[in-house]
Amino acid sequence: MVSAVPIPTTCRRRIGPLAPVGPLPMRLRAFLLTIALASTASVSADTEPGGPLAQAASRGVTARDPSTLVREDDTWWCFYTGRGVRSLHSKDLVTWQPGPAVLDEPPPWIAAAVPENRGTYWAPDVMKVGDRWLLYYSVSSFGKMDSAIGLATTPTLDPADPDFQWTDRGEVVRSREGGDFNTIDPAIFHARDGRLWLAFGSQWSGLKLVELDPATGKRLHPAAPLIPIAAGKSIEAPYLHQHGDRYYLFVNRGDCCRGDQSTYYITVGRSDRVEGPYVDRDGKPLLEGGGTLVLGIENGPLTGPGHAGIIEKDGKEWFSCHFEADDRMAGEATLGVMSLEWSGDGWPQVTPPEAR
């Protein structure tokens, strides 16, 4: 299970030492409370007023490159970068426990397709389509264009269900050194008209879109050209969402994977068509480097938001992502769940932790 994190006496960045908490007995009580928290079997909700999700982040839960959070029955699931694709599950989006890996062994096709990969698969995304769950995952090695996106399916996410079984379905799309795009960071999108799409990409010529066959989860037209949807310096991690009659494309810009020195931030553009063109609030196309800021580099104790997702719980929308570093967790990456609202002119507004 995910263990609670001891409360540090100082934060690593942006603020100085904490003020003394009082006489020795109070300090002793605080110390004993920290020990008790560290021994718990799971991460507990913060006790500040306003409810656990209103506190902006699921503090204490490390999940880099999280999938869209999905729910089956009364359980939420998150899949994230790790060996074989890692998983977490929760009843309330606050207390999380580890679940099984998706792939116990590397599928045979990977050794030939991406020989430098060593069994860690990146930035998965998951959705139920029809009677099964589709999970897309990235197979690559850092900084390389020899990459592929694979697909695994299961009838259920519940490991206790006798029908539970992840089955690898092989490669969906691939890129090669010498090309101009990179097949990582898949994001599945099921439009209201029933069409199924996969956005993906990192760096080089930017982010792409392909249509999928809902029956197979593979490309509907394998020979069709990739549809460009966003470009510019340091771009990756797309996420598509439909709000009202418009389509919204969230993207990451900046550099990941540097802890509290990461420069990751999230921007958005919108379009009347899923294929684009996407433009930001000022009318600048995302294909020309545009994007309206959603979350900046620094958000209170959290640095470097990445890999957007949107869910609905109890009639309200919430925005999920990871943060590259959390000062409250000694600089470890953390999963975040934040309040999402929409402006009067139809732009997403995410409440960062510093505003709480």
SS3 54: helix
Residue 201 lies in a domain: yes
Which parts of the chain have pLDDT scores under 50?
1-52, 56, 356
Query: Which amino acid belongs to residue 217?
Result: G
Among the listed residues 65, 168, 324, 327, the single catalytic one is 65
The torsion angles phi and psi of 110, rounded to 5 degrees, stand at -70, -40
The candidate with the shortest Cα–Cα distance to 217, out of 192, 198, 191, is 198
Instruction: Say if CB 262 and CB 296 are below 8 A apart.
Output: no
282 classed as catalytic: no
Residue 30 lies in a domain: no
The torsion angles phi and psi of 180, rounded to 5 degrees, stand at -130, 15
Residue 253 lies in a domain: yes
**Cα first-last separation, the chain:** 28
Q: Residue holding tokens 């990451």?
A: 252
C-alpha–C-alpha distance, residues 287 and 285, integer Å: 5
The torsion angles phi and psi of 91, rounded to 5 degrees, stand at -95, -20
Q: What is the pLDDT of residue 59?
A: 65
Instruction: Say if CB 207 and CB 197 are below 8 A apart.
Output: no
Q: Which helix (H) or strand (E) holds 28?
A: helix 24-38
Question: Could you tell me which residues come within 8 angstroms of residue 150 by beta carbon, excluding any fewer than 6 positions away?
Answer: 107, 109, 110, 121, 136, 137, 139, 168, 169, 170, 171, 172
Which contacts qualify for 310-313: CB closer than 8 Å, 24 or more apart? 310/68, 310/239, 310/241, 310/340, 311/68, 311/69, 311/70, 311/71, 313/53, 313/93
Instruction: Say if CB 280 and CB 253 are below 8 A apart.
Output: no
Among the listed residues 168, 171, 185, 236, the single catalytic one is 236
**CATH code where residue 189 lies:** 2.115.10.20
Residue 316 lies in a domain: yes
The candidate with the shortest Cα–Cα distance to 343, out of 299, 309, 288, 294, is 294
Q: Residue holding tokens 């991406």?
A: 114
Residue 249 lies in a domain: yes
pTM of the full predicted structure? 0.85
Q: What is the pLDDT of residue 311?
A: 95
Q: What is the pLDDT of residue 327?
A: 87
Residue 254 lies in a domain: yes
What pairs with residue 257 in β-bridges?
none
Q: Identify the burial level of 16 via C-beta atoms within 10 angstroms of its C-beta, where 0-12 means exposed, 13-18 middle and 19 or more buried.
A: exposed
Residue 195 lies in a domain: yes
Residue 15 lies in a domain: no
For the chain, the domain total comes to 1
Question: In which domain, by residue range, is 150 found?
Answer: 50-355
Instruction: Say if CB 189 and CB 198 are below 8 A apart.
Output: yes
The candidate with the shortest Cα–Cα distance to 287, out of 235, 239, 212, is 235
Question: Could you tell me which residues come within 8 angstroms of residue 24 by beta carbon, excluding any fewer than 6 positions away?
Answer: none
73 classed as catalytic: no
Helix spans in 57-187 (H): 108-113
